[in-house]
Amino acid sequence: MADEHSDTTPVWIENSALTAPALLGAAAGLLLGDLMHRGARRGVGIGLGALGVAALLPFVVGGVAGLVTGPRSRHGVRKKIQRIRDVGIGSPAYDEVDEELREQGLI
């Protein structure tokens, strides 16, 4: 139960968020550097930039999903209240009194 409330981010999201700045920096370096031919430099730079954006995408999607369904959003509050209500329902097939009477041999 305590694990439900902890905010654990998957490792692959953290790795992609850490990789994105390096890829974006490499893309900027290639776009601004004069070591390669202009056409090759532009293609490699755009490709690395696209990889950097793609690496940041899971982090951004996770953040937006947390805002929409998080514990402080309207939807998150409704979900939490519904879970609390559902816990009180219990299992209709199990009756403690009947079980106790069967164990004692009275039913």
Closest CA to 59 of 26, 10, 5: 10
The continuous run of DSSP H or E covering 8 comes out as: none
pLDDT digits (tens, 9 = 90+) for 2-54: 455 556 777 877 888 888 888 888 888 877 777 777 788 788 888 888 988 88
User: Is 93 a residue whose pLDDT tops 70?
Assistant: no
What's the pLDDT at 1?
Answer: 45
What CA–CA distances, in Å, run from 62 to 3, 24, 50, 88? Answer: 18, 20, 19, 31
The pTM score is 0.45
Instruction: Give the list of residues 6+ apart from residue 41 with CB closer than 8 angstroms, or none.
Output: 30, 31, 33, 35
Instruction: Give the list of residues 6+ apart from residue 17 with CB closer than 8 angstroms, or none.
Output: 55, 56, 58, 59
